[in-house]
Amino acid sequence: MKRLSVIVATLLFSTVFLQGKTGKELARELRINPASKAIIQWERYFKSPKRLKRLGADKLSNKEQEILKKFLIKYAADSDQPAAAGL
């Protein structure tokens, strides 16, 4: 039982304190407006190392790139929830 408690405590610590940045935070840091492109354009950006470098996203980890990609696609110009001005 004690071992299970340690495992649960470790998992809670990891999820609460070691979470990475959100897609919104990453987009702000890179000064990227999700609504500046359509979904298909964002998908193309993430398939091309050259385009990722242009965005500055080439320096992000794979996990951060995936988080950023999901955020940009979710709030792309042609999405159901395009990003509003002032994001």
- Cα separation, 21 vs 52, in Å, equals 18
Q: Is the pTM of this model over 0.75?
A: no
With respect to residue 10, please indicate whether it lies within any of the assigned structural domains: no
Q: How confident is the model over 10-49, as pLDDT tens digits? A: 655 544 445 689 999 999 999 999 999 999 999 999 999 9
Q: How far apart (Å, rounded) are the C-alpha atoms in residues 58 and 51?
A: 9
For residues 63 and 69, the answer to whether their CB atoms sit within 8 Å is no
Whether 1 is in a domain gets the answer no
Rounded to whole angstroms, how far apart are CA atoms 26 and 67?
8
pLDDT at 2: 67
Residue 79's domain comprises 20-87
Give the total number of structural domains in the chain. 1
Handedness of CA 23, 56, 18, 87 (dihedral sign): negative
